[in-house]
Chain A
Amino acid sequence: MNTIEIHKLQGSLRLRLIELYHKANAGHIGCSLSCIDLMIGSLIQHKKPEDSFILSKGHAAAALYVCLNFTGEISDEELQSFYKNGTKLPAHPSAGHFKGIPFALGSLGHGLPIACGIAKAGKIQKSNALSYVLMSDGETNEGTTWEAAHFAVQNKLDNLLVLIDKNGLQAFGNTKDILGDTASGELMSAIGFEVLTVNGHNLEEIANGIENLKSSKNGKPKMVIGNTIKGKGISYMENKMEWHYLPMTEELYAKAKKELKSTYFA
């Protein structure tokens, strides 16, 4: 995909995503918009069939669903069942139906240990597969982050690639005001990760970051910290904590669509 096509993909997946949330009259829009570009860069652009991808911040499930819809794994019809009774696509991913959703995730702090296990299995099997996991910055408050990070370093899991959606907001405030910056690159580097910080909405930077880290076989687990904006692409949502929760009114939905079209398709 060239730069223009990628830009349009960022727009079209956002439009699908807000359509889903609008039909469901549901929240978690802001945190899905903040990580969707990291997901495009990893899951859509880089992931090979033998690789695994774990969405640890399960509350951004809709972003995962529209990406898997784009890759052909989730049908349009299935996608329309989002949030409805009897769906295979609830607000947080539930396992058992799609190869691209191997684990139920939504309780924070579970994805990194699982991704470490997958990476460790790869090491034992001498496989070249990569284990991707996408986390939120708030999620790194969870103690398992620190258990797993040390495990990854000690076991030299350079086939583990952690993506951090660092939007600086968590469920009830700014991350800096709650436990501080637990998703700090300095902390992770000090533990032994190889860390690159990128603009988490710039696909070229994300792609370069992933490529650089993938090719570095130095025994260090990898981390891409994406500086992101909660609600990215919709002005009234950007950097607003409440868009973790709120659904859109008709009027706000129309405004969101208009803005996305003008930003990504102009």
Chain B
Amino acid sequence: MRKAFTSSIEKLAADDRILFVTGDLGYNAFENLRDIMKDRFINAGVAEQNMIGVAAGLAHKGYKVFCYSIAPFTTYRCLEQIRIDVCFHQLPVFIIGNGGGYGYGIMGATHHAISDIACMSSLPDLTSYVPAFIEDVALSITEMVKNGKPAYLRLGQGKNNPSVQKDMECINPVFVSPEAEVTLIALGPSINNAIDAIEASGLKNKINLFSAVKIPFDNFEGAFLKSIQKTKKLLVIEEHVSRGGIGEFIALNCLSIGLELDKFRSLCAAGYPDKQYGDQNFHQVQSGLDKDSILQLICDWLKR
């Protein structure tokens, strides 16, 4: 997704109200952007807390500011700066976290962000974007810039499945069938493993699949709610810990409206259960977020 991100930002670069600040990352990605933006491209060094404070000062003077680093470093490392300097003042600072979830794989746990959404979605009036498909990246950026409010963009590994939406609704139907018996919802790029599993199961007509790409949800009570009311079986898939993830949020919403489900299962990031490390797929397998684990669960639920 970083290529899609770079290309979207380059399209915005002519706008002299846009600034781009990086925490010293962007090798082999942002050289062209740096050349285009000149003094509006700022390398703030390996100093993320200062980067966010500086961005707040820049935004206060009328700029829309992107702040880029690897996901854990633009979220956890500078959470207080985001909370106070950016969110309290509702400044147009856009936090970009590359490689959310287990995206940085074998780089190890320091480079993973599996509780970033919990942190960021607890902040006042900040919207988190988790693009599922490549095209979602441009849609997210367009909306972030248009809204001019604090935002977090978690970039993951998106496949080239076509995007299902033309604008950034929080929850979007991917497959919907009148015969559906189960509802699946996946956060961001986790949808790709769900799609592969559903295709392999041969049970596509028994499943309604939704993609969650923006948090907090403002369209929970749309097609997604209708689907879980009908199927009463809900499987949530997210490359994020269960605490503070979309599974918890959906469960709270269901309880709040008195909606009882026959089956509810949250597939989420398990952390590092055996203190073993590997690529993103390795961690997905350990967490049960890979295609085969999802396929097994679908078959169990549909008793095929």
Q: Which residues of A contact B (CB under 8 A)?
A: 52, 95-96, 102-104, 107, 109-110, 112-125, 131, 143-144, 147-148, 150-151, 154-155
Contact = CB atoms under 8 A, between A and B. Distances in A.
Interface string B48-59: 011111111111
B124 to A, nearest CB: 11
A30 B45 CA distance: 37
29 contacts: A52-B60, A95-B89, A103-B60, A103-B89, A109-B49, A110-B81, A110-B85, A112-B53, A113-B52, A113-B57, A113-B81, A117-B53, A117-B55, A117-B57, A117-B61, A118-B61, A120-B54, A120-B57, A121-B58, A124-B63, A125-B61, A143-B49, A144-B50, A147-B45, A148-B53, A148-B54, A151-B44, A151-B45, A151-B50
Given A110-B81, A110-B84, A151-B45, A116 B50 contact: yes
Contacts of B51: 113
Interface string B16-60: 000100000000000000000001101011010111111111111
Secondary structure at chain A's binding surface: helix, strand, loop or mixed?
helix
Contacts of A123: 39
A96 B90 CA distance: 10
A115 B50 CA distance: 10
B80 interface: yes
A110 B54 CA distance: 9
B88 interface: yes
Given A112-B53, A121-B57, A104 B84 contact: yes
B54 A104 contact: no
Contacts of B54: 113-114, 116-117, 120, 148, 151
Interface of B: 19, 39-40, 42, 44-45, 47, 49-63, 80-81, 84-85, 88-89
A61 to B, nearest CB: 15
A124 B59 CA distance: 13
B236 to A, nearest CB: 35
Contact of B60 (A96, A109, A117): A117
Q: Which of B50, B53, B55, B61 neighbours the largest number of chain A CB atoms within 10 Å of its CB?
A: B50
Nearest to B89: A95
Secondary structure at chain B's binding surface: helix, strand, loop or mixed?
helix
A148 B56 CA distance: 13
Nearest to A103: B89
Contacts of B88: 95, 103-104
Contacts of B19: 124
A113 to B, nearest CB: 2
Contacts of A95: 88-89
A213 B167 CA distance: 51
Contacts of A131: 57
Contacts of A148: 47, 50, 53-54
3 closest pairs, A vs B, by CB?
Answer: A117-B57, A113-B53, A121-B61
A50 B181 CA distance: 63
Given A114-B53, A148-B53, 15 more contacts: A102-B60, A109-B49, A110-B84, A110-B85, A113-B52, A115-B57, A117-B59, A117-B61, A118-B60, A118-B61, A120-B57, A124-B40, A124-B63, A144-B49, A150-B45
A155 B85 CA distance: 21
Contacts of A120: 42, 54, 57-58
A114 B60 contact: yes
